[in-house]
Structure 1
Amino acid sequence: MIAAAPAHPSRATATPVRPRGGRVAGPLRCDEAGRELDFSGMGRPWQLLDRPAEYDAVRKALTNGDTGGVILVGAAGVGKTTLARMVTEVLSEPVRWVACTASSQAIPLGAFAPWIAASASRDPLASLHSARENVLAQPDTVIGVDDAHLLDNLSATLVHQIAVDHGAHIVATARTGESLPDAVTSLWKDSYVERIELAPLTKTECVALVEAVLGGTLEGLSADVMWESSGGNPLFLRNLVEGGVEAGTLTDVNGVWQLRGPTAVPSGLVELLDERLSRVGAAVLEVLETLAVHDPLDIDILSELVGAAAVDAAEATGLVRITSHNGVVDVRFSHPLLGEVVRCRVGTAAARIRRGRLVETLQDRDASTPAHRIRLARLCVDSDRPLDIALLIDAAKDAVSLANLPLGELLARAASERGGGLRAAELLSRALLWQGRPQDADEILARFDPDRLDPLQLVQWGVVRASLRFWSLGDVDHAGDLVEMLRARVDYPALRLTVDAAAAAMAVHENHLAEGIEAAERVIADPDSPRQAVDFAAFALGLALPVAGRGADFAPIAARSRVQQKSTDGIIRLMVRYGDVLALTTIGDLDLAEQRATEYREFSSAGQFVGWAIARIADGVVATYRGRFREAITAFEQALAALNAESSLPWKLPARLLLARAYAALGEVEQAERVLGDAEEHSGPHMALHEPQRMIARAWLAGAEHSAHSAVELARKAADLAHSAGQYAMEAEALHHATRFGDRTLAARLTTVAGRVQGPVAAIYARHAAAVAAADPCALAAVSGEFEAAGLLLSAADAQAQTVPIYDHAGQRRPSAKATARMMALVARCDGAGTPAITAAAHPLPITEREREIAALIGRGLSNRAIAERLCVSVRTVEGHIYRACIKLDASDREQLAELI
C-alpha cells in the first residue's frame, strides 16, 4: 500500500525562474492550487524547465494588438499557471490576477469581488460595471484568470465582454476534464483569444528536471518508471521525487539516484487529487476504487463489475484512459499516481473484498499466459478468497522468468509460508540470490534434508544451492562437493544434463575453458536437454566462446535463446543475451552488437533492476570498444548502482574492469584506481575467468600514469595469462594493447594467435603490429583506416599517432601535421581520450618515457621517496631523472616540471 507522506512544515524558499532570453521572473512560491511549495527536503530547490515555444507564444498573444490574449489548457499540475506567471512577470504592463475557487464559484462575480465597490454590491449590473471599471483602472492592463473553469457565470460574462471589447489582454488557465462556462468556451471558439494546449513534459525533459534538482544522475530504469508514473506532469513528478526522497525509496547510490520499493505520495498531492475525486460521483468513484486494486483492467471485466455506463462516465472525466494493445482493450488511470491516491482512500478490508470479487471474475477466464497468472496470484495474496498454492508457485516462476525479482520473492514467499514445499523454497531462494541476499537464500535451502529428496527435487535444490555457494559466496569447494553429490545420486539422463550444465558454467568461471566449453556444447547438442540445462549451458558458452576466439560460434545459440519464449530463470537468460553482445563485439560486428544491446534493455518494471543492470553493462561494453567513453562510464556507473545490494553481486566485476579502462582512457587516474580497488572484492578461483581483463585494466591505468613501460609489461602479462587458459581473443586484444603502448616485437605472435580467433579484428591487430615493427607510416595509416571502418576509433587514433614520430624523425613536417590533425579528429570522437601514443604525438617533449612518468607522479603529489618505492629504484635515481628533465625543459624545480607535463 502506498503511504501518504506528511507535508513539510517549513515555508518554501523563493526560487527565481529564468525564462527564455535570460530575464529572471519573479519568485514562485505556490502550486496551481495556491498552496505554498516546500523544497526543504531536497538537496537543491525544485526548478522549472523552460518551455521556450509556449513562452514565446503566450508573450506574443499578450503583446500583439491583433489578439485578445490566450487561454492555456492542460491537466492539473502541467504548469499552466507557472507559465502564465513567468510571462506576466516580465511584462511592462500592469497585471491583475483573478483567482477562481470552488467557493467563489457559488457567488455572482465572486472572482472579481475585490474590485467591486461596496455601494454596488447589491445590484448585479452595478457590480458588473464597478468590477470592470476598477479592474481596468490602469491603461493597457492584462487580466490573468487562474482556473477559469471555476468562474461563476457572471464573472465569465465579464471576462468575455472585456475580450470582445478589447478592453484588456486576457491570459487564462483552464483544466482539462472540467466543464467550462459557455462564455469562456466562446473566447477561443470565436477567436477572441488563442487557445494553447500545454502538453506534459517529454521523458528527456523529465529526466533533465529531476537530475537538476537532485544534483546527480537518475538511473535509467528509475527514470522510465518515474516518467510513466508521472505521465510527464511536472507537479506529479515533483511530488513523486519529494515523496520518494522523504520515504527513503529514492536514494543516491554512488552518485546515481534510483527508485526502489513503494512510493510515498506527499499529502499536498493527496489533497489536490482528493479535491478532484470528491466531485466525480459515486458511479465513477466505484470504477476508480475497483481499478485501484488492479491497474489496468480489461474493459469487459471492469464493465462486468461496475457497469458499462460507469466506465464511460469515468472516461469522460479524464481520470481514466482506454488503451488497446494486441487486440486487448484496457482501462487504466490517466496518471498512475492518481491510482496511488485512490488506493489510500480504500480501506484494507474493503480492498480485500474488492480483490476477492475480481478473483471470482478472473479465475474462470484464460490463465495460460504469465501476465494472467501473475495478476490473479497477486490479487489472491491480499484478497479474502482461499489461496491456490499451485497458482502462487506458477506465478512466482513466471515472475522469476521475467526477471522481476521482488515480485517473484513476494509470490514465492506467500507460497512457501503456506506449505509450498521445495518448489516454492527454490523459487524464493533464487529471487533472493539475484537480489544480493545469498545468506538468506542459503538458509531457506538448508532447511531441506537432501537425503529425503527424490532425484528431481535433489537437482532443483542442489543446483541452486551450488550456484549461490559458488558465485555469491565464493565457496568453490562446497559448491564442487554439491555437484559431485548430485552426479553420484542422480542417474536420470535429463537431470544429469542439468547438473553437467551448471558444472560447465562453474568451470568456465574458474577459467577451465576447454573443460567448460566441451561440457556445455554437449548439453546444447543433446535433443533431450531440459530447458534449465540449455539455459545454463548457453550462459557458460556466452562467456567462454567470445574470449576463446569463437564468438561467431555463439550466434546460433544466441538465436535459439532469442526465439525461446520462456526461460527457467530470467537473469540467466539475460546473461545469455550479454554473451551475445560480447560475442559480436569480439568478432568486430559492433553495429549488430549495439543493435542487440538496445533490444535487450527493454524493461518496464523497477523490479527488473538486476536484468536492467546486466543490459546496461552490455551497452557499456559496446561503447568502450567504440571509444565512446563518457557513454560507457554512464552505463557502467548506472549498472553498478542498480546492482547495489547487501552482498555485492558478482556481475559488478566485468563492469568495473571495463569502467576502469574507460576512466583511464580519459586520464581520470584517481577514478580508475578507485574502481580497480573496488574490483578486488570479487577475486578468487570462482572469478578467474576475468583475470586477463583485470590485468588489461591495470595496463591502461599504467598508461594513464604515463608509464608506458609498465603498461606494456602488464598487457603482455595479460596476454600470457589469457593464452594459458585458452582465451585467444583476450590474448590478441592484450597484445594489441601492448603494441599501442609501444611494444614493437609482437607481430609474429599476433599473426599466430589471429589464426585462432574468429572475425576480422584480430587480423587487423596483426597488421598493426607488423606496421609498428617496420616503422612504416603508410602501413600504419592504412591500418588506422581499417580500425576506423571497424568502429574501433581509439585504436585508429593510436595507429595514426604512431606515424607522427616517424615523420618527425625523418623531418617530414607536412605529413606529420596531417597525421596529427587526423589523429586529433579521431580523439575528439573518443571524448578526448589519451594514450601514450597520442600524448607523445600531440605533445612531443625532449624527455624519456621514464622522465615523463616521474614528472606525472610528481604532479599527483608523490614525494621522491614514494616515487622510488613505486618504481623499485633508488631515490638518487629518481632525483637524477628529475634533474635531467628539468634541464631539458628549462624547469626550475620539480613543481614546474609537473606543470609542464
Structure 2
Amino acid sequence: MKRWPFAGRRHELADLVRLARDPTAQGVIIAGPAGVGKSRLAGEVLTHFHAAKVTLLRVRATKAASAIPNGALADLIPRQHPPHLVNTLRWAADELLAHARGRVLVLSVDDAHLLDSHSAEVIASLVRGGQARLVATLRTGEPAPDPVTLLWRDGHVRRYDTDPLSDDDVTAVLTAALGGPPDDATVRRLGEVTEGNALFLYEVVGAAIASGALSEIHGMWKLTGDPPLAPRLVDLIHERIGALSPELKDVLEYTALAEPIGARMLSALTSERALLEAEERGLIRVRVDRRREIARLGHPLYGEVARERCPELRRRRRHADLVAALESTGLHRREDPLRVTVWRLAGGLGAAPGPLLDASRLAWSAHDYPLAIRLGEAALDAGGGTTAAIQLATLLDYAQQPDRARAVLDATRRPDDEPSMARLVLARASNLAWGMDRLGDALDLLAATEKDLTGTARRRQVAVQRLGLTASAARTGDALRLSADLLAGELGPAQRAQVLNSRALALCYAGRTTEAAALVREALDESAAWRDEIPALVSPLHSTWSMCGYFSGDLAVMDQAIASMRAALAGQRGWSRGEGSLALARGNAATLRGQLGAALLILHAPANHETALTVGGCMAAYAAAQALRGESAAARDTLQAATDRNRATWTAFMRWVALTRVWIAAAGGENARAVELALAAAADCRESGLAAFEAVALHDAVRLGAPSSVVRRLAELAEVHEGPRVKLAARHAAALAEGDADGLLAVAAGFDALGLRLHAAEAAAQAAARLRRSRGEKAARAAATEAWSMAGACQGPDTPALRGLAAPDLTDRELQVAQLTAAGLSHRQIALELGIAMRTAMNHRNQAYWKLGVNSPAELAKALNRFR
C-alpha cells in the first residue's frame, strides 16, 4: 500500500504544535512505544513552522551509528574536524548552526534514544543554549543518552507521551487511506488486533485488502473474518520480539494457547526465570487480581504469530501439558472445566459427553457461540443423545443458524420420557417461530403439547415460552394477562426472568416505560440465579431497557442500557442475537440524537452480515437512517432486503418497517403519501394497543407538517404515555396547528435539552417559516439560525422540514470574525489577530449578527459551537 495521509489525532497534534512553539521551552520530545506513530506526528508538527523563518535539519539516529561519535550527524557536518582541535563538541555545534544562516534552527531528531553520546551532547548543548529548537521522537522502554533525558527533566523541552490510536483515530485514518469510511465493527476489530499501533494497522489493513478480507460494501469498508498474517507483518513481529531462547519460546507458546493463564501455572510449565524475563521483554503482561497473578500476551499479534508457527504435534503436546497442569490444581474456578475440556480436545485426549455438555453451557454463558457449538457437536458425536441434540439446536438458533438447528432437531427421535420430550418441543417451537417465521405453527405445537403434559412444572415452562412469543408478537393485552397469571404462581429463577422480560416488553410497547424498565433491572439484578440456564436472555432484557429510553425520549436510559449490555456481552464471539441487539440499540440511540452518519457506521456490519438471518431490525434501522438523509432509493432497497431476509416478520419488526416507510416516502418527495403512511401506522398501532409506536407515528405526521388530525390523540397519549418525548410531541402538534412560532421554538428548545437534535431542528425550522410571515425577516433569521445550527450537528439530515433551510450567507471574513467573537476575543484582539482595522472588525461582527439573527457573543457561540 502507498503511504497513508495523516488523519486523526487532532487534539494530540494541536497540543504538540503548541508545545513545539512554546516560548518558555525549546521544543518537544514525543515519547511512545514502537509503531505508535511518533515519527508521523513529529513530521506533522514540523509543517506548522513557518518555512521562510526556520532552517530545518533532520537527524535520523540508528543502531548502526550509535557506537560512532557524531554518527547521527554524519550527513550534516564535515567528515573530519580540523587538526589539533580540542573541543569537538563546540565545533560540531557551530557546524550545525552554520546551516541556519540567520534563521531559527529547528532540529528534527527521529529515534533520539539511539543517538550516540557525542551527537546527543551536541544537540542538547544547542537546545540548552537557546540556539535551536527541537522536535524529537523517543521510544519508551529503551535507555536514552543522558543529555537527551536531562533536556526534559531540566525543563529545556517538553516531553509528550503519545497513546495508541483510539477507535476514532482508526476511523479517521482508514477513511483517509481507503477513500471511504470503515464500519463500526471493522474499526473495533482492527483496534483489538493492533491495539492502536499505527504500524501494525498499516500492515494488517494492507494484508486484509490483498486477501479480500477487507473490501468496500455499499460505500463502507467491512472486514470479514480474521485479517491474515502477511510475511511483512510476521517479520515486524519477530523484529519486535527479538531472538528467543527455547525457554522464552515456551512461555510465549503456552501463553498464546491458553491466555489468560495463571502466572504460577505458567512458571511451573516453564521456569520462574523465563517468566520474569518474558515479562521484562514485553512478551507477556502480568496483572494481579487479588491473590492471583494472570498472564496475557504483550500484544494480540504475538499470539497470532506464535500459534501460526507452532507445529501441530507440538501444539497437541502443549495442550496435553496444560490439561495436566490444570487438573493437578483440582479445577476450583468456575471456568476451569471449560478450559480443561477445550484443551483435552485440542490435545487429542478426548472427553465424555457430560463434561462436554457442561463445558458447552459454560461457553454459552460466556457468549462464545463458536466454542459452545463446537463443544455441543463434540458432545453429540460422543453419544450425548437427546440432551446434546437439544442443547446444540438451541445454540445454533441463538447463533443465527436456524437451518442447521432444524436439521439437528429433525434428526432427533422423539424421546420416551416426558421431561426430554417437553424440552425437545420447546426447541422445535423456538426454531419454528424465530428461524422458520412460522409463529402459528409454533403456538399450535405449544398448545397441543401443553394439553398432553402431566407435570405442572413442564406445563408452566410451555406457558412461559408461549408468553414470550406472544409478547414478541406485540400482542400486549394477551401478554400482560398471561404474565400476571404466571407471576402469581410458583416460578423457578429462569422462568421468572423470562416472564419479567416478556411483561417488560409488553409494558414498553404500551407506553408504560418506567414500570417496564424497573422489571428489566429486577431481572438483571437476579441474573446470577438464571445466567447459566439461559444466558441469551440478557439480550432481550437489555433491548427492552433501551427501547424504554427510546420511546420515552430519555437518552440517559438508553445509554445506561447500552453500557450494561456491552458489559454483559463482553467477549461475545460469533454472530448472535446479542450482537445484533447491541448494534440496534446503539444505532437507534445515534439516530434519535440526529447522529445519522454514526448510526450508519454502527449498523452497517449487521445490515450487511453474510449469514445472520434475523438482522431485519438492524437493516430496517439502517434504512431509516438512510431515509432521514434523503437517500430514498438506497433506503427502499435496504428495507426490501430486510423484509426478504428477516425470519421473524411476526414480531414488532413490521411496526418498525411501517415507520421506516414513512420516511422513505418523504425522502422521495412524496410528502402527502408519507403523511398517509404515518396515519395508517398510527391507526394500526392504536388498534393493537401499541401506544409507544402510535405516538411515534403520530409525531412523524407533525414533523411532516400535518398536525391537524393528530393534535387530540397526541394530547390523550401525553396523559398516559410515560416520558417527556410524547409530551413534547403533543406540544409540537398543538403549536404547529395553531401557527404558534414561540411555541414551536419552545418545543425545539425542549427537544434540544433532551438531546433529540433532529426533532429540535425541525421544530425550529417550522417556527422560522411562520415567523417570516408574521414578524419579519430578523425574527425568522434567528429561528432559521437555530434550526441550521442544530441540523448541522445531525450529520446530513434531509427531511421535509429542513429541506428549504439555507445556511447563513456569511462571507469568509465574517465567519472568521464570528468565530473569534464567539471565542471571547474583543474587537481590538480580533483586529490584531486578522490584521484589519478595529472598525472593520466591528462591521463584520455586526453583519454576522444581522445575518444570523443573534444579539450577543453568547448566542453566537451557541449557534457556531453546536454546528461544529
TM-score category (smaller protein): 0.7 to 0.9
Secondary structure, aligned partner of 2:537: helix
Distance 2:39 2:387 in 1: 56
Greater CA drift, 314-323 or 801-810? 801-810
CA contact (8 A) 1:408 1:427 kept: no
Q: What residue identity is the alignment partner of 1:698?
A: R
CA contact (8 A) 1:483 1:499 kept: yes
CA contact (8 A) 1:667 1:704 kept: yes
Residue among 407, 429, 434 paired with 2:393:
429
Distance 1:232 1:353 in 2: 34
Secondary structure, aligned partner of 1:329: strand
TM-superposition CA deviations, 1:797-824 (whole Å, max 9, x none): 5555555666666677776666555555
Q: What residue identity is the alignment partner of 2:555?
A: L
**Residue 471 (structure 1) aligned with residue 434 (structure 2):** yes
Cα separation, partners in 2 of 1:293 and 1:179, compared to 1, 3 Å: farther
TM-superposition CA deviations, 1:389-416 (whole Å, max 9, x none): 4333223222223332223223323333
Map of 1:797-816 to 2, 5 A cutoff? 797-799=761-763
Secondary structure, aligned partner of 1:331: strand
TM-superposition CA deviations, 1:531-569 (whole Å, max 9, x none): 1x3454344334432222232331232012321132544
CA contact (8 A) 1:506 1:686 kept: no
Distance 2:480 2:246 in 1: 65
Residue among 706, 712, 717 paired with 1:742:
706
* Equivalent residue, structure 1, for 2:275: 311
Q: What residue identity is the alignment partner of 1:597?
A: I
Cα separation, partners in 2 of 1:66 and 1:580, compared to 1, 3 Å: closer
**Residue 607 (structure 1) aligned with residue 573 (structure 2):** yes
Residue among 528, 539, 561 paired with 1:596:
561
Map of 1:702-717 to 2, 5 A cutoff? 702-717=665-680
Distance 2:771 2:77 in 1: 88
Greater CA drift, 487-496 or 719-728? 487-496
Cα separation, partners in 2 of 1:672 and 1:499, compared to 1, 3 Å: same
Map of 1:288-327 to 2, 5 A cutoff? 288-325=252-289
**Residue 78 (structure 1) aligned with residue 33 (structure 2):** no
Cα separation, partners in 2 of 1:827 and 1:257, compared to 1, 3 Å: closer
Residue among 637, 642, 665 paired with 1:674:
637
* Equivalent residue, structure 2, for 1:582: 547
Q: Displacement, 1:519?
A: 2.4
Distance 2:727 2:24 in 1: 72
Distance 2:283 2:646 in 1: 54
TM-superposition CA deviations, 1:839-879 (whole Å, max 9, x none): 57989xxxxxxxxxxxxxxxxxxxxxxxxxxxxxxxxxxxx
CA contact (8 A) 1:627 1:830 kept: yes
Cα separation, partners in 2 of 1:422 and 1:105, compared to 1, 3 Å: farther
Distance 1:797 1:137 in 2: 59
Cα separation, partners in 2 of 1:274 and 1:625, compared to 1, 3 Å: closer
Q: Displacement, 1:295?
A: 1.9
Q: Displacement, 1:578?
A: 0.7
Q: Displacement, 1:285?
A: 2.9
**Residue 573 (structure 1) aligned with residue 538 (structure 2):** yes
Distance 1:758 1:310 in 2: 62
* Equivalent residue, structure 2, for 1:551: 513
CA contact (8 A) 2:718 2:726 kept: yes
Q: Displacement, 1:443?
A: 0.8
CA contact (8 A) 1:802 1:841 kept: no
Q: What residue identity is the alignment partner of 1:607?
A: R
Secondary structure, aligned partner of 1:663: helix
Q: Displacement, 1:189?
A: 8.2
* Equivalent residue, structure 2, for 1:888: none
Secondary structure, aligned partner of 2:709: coil
Q: Displacement, 1:792?
A: 4.5
**Residue 333 (structure 1) aligned with residue 297 (structure 2):** yes
CA contact (8 A) 1:542 1:578 kept: no
Q: Displacement, 1:356?
A: 1.7
**Residue 394 (structure 1) aligned with residue 355 (structure 2):** no
- CA RMSD, Structure 1 to Structure 2 (Å): 4.6
CA contact (8 A) 1:78 1:200 kept: yes
Q: What residue identity is the alignment partner of 2:295?
A: V
* Equivalent residue, structure 1, for 2:721: 757
TM-superposition CA deviations, 1:577-605 (whole Å, max 9, x none): 11111123323433322332233234543
Residue among 691, 697, 706 paired with 1:728:
691
Residue among 541, 566, 573 paired with 2:503:
541
Residue among 598, 601, 604 paired with 1:637:
604
Q: Displacement, 1:513?
A: 3.2
Cα separation, partners in 2 of 1:111 and 1:571, compared to 1, 3 Å: same
Unaligned runs of 5+ in 2: 101-105, 808-868
Cα separation, partners in 2 of 1:802 and 1:76, compared to 1, 3 Å: closer
CA contact (8 A) 2:184 2:604 kept: no
Distance 1:260 1:388 in 2: 34
Q: Displacement, 1:336?
A: 1.2
Greater CA drift, 80-89 or 626-635? 80-89
Cα separation, partners in 2 of 1:823 and 1:223, compared to 1, 3 Å: closer
Cα separation, partners in 2 of 1:411 and 1:816, compared to 1, 3 Å: same
Q: Displacement, 1:351?
A: 2.0
CA contact (8 A) 2:31 2:162 kept: yes
Distance 2:36 2:334 in 1: 36
Residue among 561, 582, 585 paired with 1:618:
585
Cα separation, partners in 2 of 1:468 and 1:51, compared to 1, 3 Å: same
CA contact (8 A) 1:438 1:647 kept: no
Secondary structure, aligned partner of 1:677: helix
Secondary structure, aligned partner of 1:218: coil
Q: Normalized against structure 1, the TM-score is what?
A: 0.74
Q: Displacement, 1:348?
A: 1.7
Distance 2:537 2:242 in 1: 48
Unaligned runs of 5+ in 1: 1-11, 20-46, 844-901
Distance 1:716 1:557 in 2: 31
Secondary structure, aligned partner of 1:387: coil
Q: Displacement, 1:657?
A: 3.6
Residue among 300, 319, 323 paired with 1:359:
323
CA contact (8 A) 2:20 2:28 kept: no
**Residue 284 (structure 1) aligned with residue 242 (structure 2):** no
Q: What residue identity is the alignment partner of 1:457?
A: S
Q: Displacement, 1:184?
A: 8.4
TM-superposition CA deviations, 1:101-157 (whole Å, max 9, x none): 57x88999999999999999xxxx99x99xx99997995499988767778xxxx45
Q: Displacement, 1:223?
A: 2.9
* Equivalent residue, structure 2, for 1:665: 628
Distance 2:645 2:571 in 1: 28
Distance 1:784 1:190 in 2: 55
TM-superposition CA deviations, 1:643-696 (whole Å, max 9, x none): x133532x423x344444433333332333233322331579842533343333
Q: What residue identity is the alignment partner of 2:245?
A: G
**Residue 411 (structure 1) aligned with residue 375 (structure 2):** yes
Map of 1:433-452 to 2, 5 A cutoff? 433-450=397-414, 452=415
Distance 2:734 2:80 in 1: 101
**Residue 648 (structure 1) aligned with residue 613 (structure 2):** yes
Q: How many equivalent pairs are there? A: 787
TM-superposition CA deviations, 1:601-637 (whole Å, max 9, x none): 3454361554233112112323334444344333333
Map of 1:56-71 to 2, 5 A cutoff? 56=17
CA contact (8 A) 1:70 1:193 kept: yes
Q: Displacement, 1:333?
A: 1.8
* Equivalent residue, structure 2, for 1:895: none
TM-superposition CA deviations, 1:203-251 (whole Å, max 9, x none): 4323322333334433434433432332322112222323333444445
Distance 1:71 1:732 in 2: 58
- State the identity %: 27
Q: What residue identity is the alignment partner of 1:335?
A: H
Residue among 515, 528, 532 paired with 2:491:
528
Q: Displacement, 1:793?
A: 4.7
Greater CA drift, 376-385 or 248-257? 248-257
